[in-house]
A and B are shown apart, each in its own frame.
Chain A
């Protein structure tokens, strides 16, 4: 069935390091893809999205490219900050029901 697979965390980095969080999906059609971020004690909020193949979503220095051929939507950031510490969820939405990954915790040390 439809699913999202994210790399397991926690991912621990030093400030200014490069970040990659892998995400692959299994879907029958051509979904819209999303990355959500959840800061401690808060709900999920949209970080970026891409709606068709080869689209690149970007926000706050984060980027992800919709790769249809590899069914992937990896999240990257060139230089992380302590304030980026949070849980990141990959998701897709093909119908009205979204499918979420398990989430990847990112911890950034000064």
Chain B
């Protein structure tokens, strides 16, 4: 099992540009989560999906952030336009729903917005 796969691992972009982060969850997992990690705020849950359907996006900071899951094996997190305060490490995680099980995290995407 390859685990959760994220790409790119590092992204450097300029303010105002569009950024797209990608995630492939573990096969058979029906929950997918997007997190953001910063020194100031720690680990924040942005949005999660169940069976490809967005369930709770209350953690998405602004309308500039959007996430999609077109199928069970792929999800994207898009920031448009990006701002320097979006600089962080973004993690994708997946899990089974029942029994309540641990999450499996990807290696993260380190985003730097100049």
B-side contacts of A103, CB under 8 Å: 42-43
Q: Does A44 contact B (CB under 8 A)?
A: yes
Given contacts A36-B105, A46-B103, 7 further A-B contacts (CB under 8 A): A43-B4, A44-B103, A45-B105, A46-B102, A96-B97, A97-B45, A100-B43
Scoring B43, B45, B56, B93 by chain A CB atoms within 10 A of each residue's CB, the highest score goes to B43
State which of A41, A43, A95 has its C-beta within 8 Å of the C-beta of B91. A43
Which residues of chain B (15-32) have a CB below 8 Å from chain A? 31
Contact indicator A42/B31 (Cβ below 8 Å): no
Contact indicator B42/A96 (Cβ below 8 Å): no
Q: A43-B108, A89-B43, A103-B43 are in contact. Are A98 and B56 (CB under 8 A)?
A: no
Residues 27-58 of chain A, each 1 if its beta carbon lies under 8 Å from chain B, else 0: 00000101010000111111001010000000
A-side contacts of B50, CB under 8 Å: 96
* A interface residues, Cβ below 8 angstroms from B: 32, 34, 36, 41-46, 49, 51, 89, 93-98, 100, 102-103
Contact indicator A97/B56 (Cβ below 8 Å): yes
A-B contact pairs, 20 of them (CB 8 A): A42-B108, A43-B4, A43-B91, A43-B93, A43-B108, A44-B43, A45-B104, A46-B103, A51-B100, A95-B100, A96-B48, A96-B50, A96-B100, A97-B48, A98-B103, A100-B43, A102-B42, A102-B43, A103-B42, A103-B43
B-side contacts of A102, CB under 8 Å: 42-43
A-side contacts of B102, CB under 8 Å: 34, 46, 49, 93
